[in-house]
Amino acid sequence: MRVSKRLLVAVCALAMGAGSVSAATLRVGMQDDPDALDPATGGTYAGRIVFAALCDKLVDIDANLQIVPQLATEWSWSEDNTALNMTLRTGVTFQDGTPFDAEAVKFNIERMQTKEDSRRKGELAPITKVEVIDPTHVKLQLSEPYAPLLSVLTDRAGMMVSPTAARSSEEFAANPVCSGPYKLVERRARDVIRLEKYDGYWNAQNIGYDAVDYLYIPDSTVRLSRLQAGDLEVAERIAPSDLPAIRADSTLALHAAPGLAVTHLMINVGKGDFAKTPIGQEPRLRKALELSLDRNVINQVAFGGEFLADNQMIPPSSAFYSASNAVPARDLDAAKALIAEVGGGAPKLEITYENSLSDGRVAQIVQSLAGEAGFEVTLLPLETASAIERYLAGNFQLYIGNWSGRADPDPTLYAFYGSKGGQNVNGYNNPKMDEILLAARKASDTEARKTLYAQATDLYLTELPTIPLYHPNWFYAARAKVGGIEIYPDGILRLAGLKPTE
């Protein structure tokens, strides 16, 4: 029996497609399952990766941390720095087909300021009025100068959602509608977030994949194995121990960037019963805990020396890093002396953390090192959603926190140390710190801000409501056939320019 060439090709194509994913689908292995897919309420790094596909922002950063246009094409400050004028991109629509314009900007800013469970209120608090000049021009009026505003708008506070969809849906996070290159098709908790290309996207010609699947694969070794097997195109947060295997594999490519991120040991100092402990109430015990640790040992043992051991929330690459606060060497004698000075012996400690390979290693090393100073440390690993729930509620004594960092120091330092900061879940409250951080927000001069942030650093390193441990570098691995990947210091996988090369 003769079979036509056309029929044979069709049959082969069907056979190849059965049970497989189209070559035009980018499958990304994720360490964590993102939280709410609403820019107003989201709070995880994993969520920021998915938002990069779903939701464009007013402005973005480039590889050098410079602010660049996205939905806003131009901007300028008033002479007294209390108003930001923005010119908006024309021809932009949300994924429901409704137009993006100045009214949409007004709706989004006000929604984030007033929504009951919004986590952007503190970031946008200085904005007193959003004035619509015309459809393509908007003015943000401020109560006082606010130097970090543009940087704030490069993250979730600057993400624009459809006013029509947000007004009509009580469960917007389950069905987000934004202005990004991809729209949500399906989400299965702790499994997959499936997106498809939005053909009406303003920059659609620069989007090379028809669909994106974000797959929850918490084990870094499994992520790498599935990447090697061809089940994934990209895997994020590759473990440093797996880097040699990637570098030796010609079918894979490593994409890395120095990070703005920080991993720190948060201590509950003012939130509920967990704060009513010796270490929560006594800075000398927190200092003793810090002196019992060796950050270089943590970096070498857990990460093969691929990260940067440090004692500050801001990385040394930042112009606002405090060079006068060197990393203290481990000093067990000094740690024991502080414990004796306080009296009562070294307190028992419990460390809560997300049950990832990296955090588990860090927790075990901290447990061992602190034990040599007399601290009895128990570990409480939890799956991601449960850990984050406890974190947000301040339901922990100590917590291994992973913060992806920002280009400007304010979203980090105010978030964790401002009394109204969005990440101040451990109840730290110091009026002097608030005074310093608010003054830094108002200062338009870089040197003045450096001086103020140095004062803030002196203060948090004295009181130690959190003990910074190291700055991760970002390691992504991808199939070599994925072209156009560039990882910025914020660690976000941007999809513009990505395309299959074969």
Walk along the chain (502 residues) and give the pLDDT tens digit of each residue.
344 433 333 333 333 333 344 459 999 999 999 999 999 999 899 999 999 999 999 999 999 999 999 999 999 999 999 999 999 999 999 999 999 999 999 999 999 999 999 999 989 999 999 999 999 999 999 999 999 999 999 999 999 999 999 999 889 999 999 999 999 999 999 999 999 999 999 999 999 999 999 999 999 999 999 999 999 999 999 999 999 999 999 999 999 999 999 999 999 999 999 999 999 999 999 999 999 999 999 999 999 999 999 999 999 999 999 999 999 999 999 999 999 999 999 999 999 999 998 999 999 999 999 999 999 999 999 998 899 999 999 999 999 999 999 999 999 999 999 999 989 999 999 999 999 999 999 998 999 999 999 999 999 999 999 999 999 999 999 999 999 999 999 999 999 999 999 7
Query: What's at 291, amino acid-wise?
Result: L
The angle formed by the CA atoms of residues 223, 225 and 231, to the nearest 5 degrees, is: 80
Closest Cα partner for 320 from 432, 205, 434, 453? Answer: 453
Distance CA 418, CA 493 (A): 29
Q: List Cα–Cα distances, 165 to 71, 138, 162, in angstroms.
A: 19, 22, 5
The pLDDT value recorded for residue 365 is 98
The pLDDT value recorded for residue 78 is 97
List 61's β-bridge partners, or say none. Answer: 67
Q: List Cα–Cα distances, 199 to 94, 97, 160, 255, 396, in angstroms.
A: 11, 10, 18, 28, 45
The pLDDT value recorded for residue 281 is 98
The pLDDT value recorded for residue 471 is 98
The pLDDT value recorded for residue 10 is 38
The pLDDT value recorded for residue 385 is 87
* Residue 406 C-alpha from the chain's centroid: 8
Residues 6+ apart with CB under 8 A from 64: none
Half-sphere exposure of 131 (CA within 13 A, CB side): 9
Distance CA 431, CA 324 (A): 23
The pLDDT value recorded for residue 344 is 95
Q: What are phi and psi of 271, to 5 degrees?
A: -125, 95
**pTM passes above 0.85:** yes
Residues 6+ apart with CB under 8 A from 390: 352, 382, 396, 399
172: left (phi over 0), alpha (psi -120 to 50) or beta: alpha
Domains in the chain (CATH in brackets) are 22-35+180-258+474-500 (3.40.190.10), 58-167 (3.90.76.10), 262-471 (3.10.105.10)
Distance CA 466, CA 487 (A): 28
DSSP three-state, residue 328: coil
464: left (phi over 0), alpha (psi -120 to 50) or beta: left
The pLDDT value recorded for residue 170 is 85
Tokens of 97: 């087909």
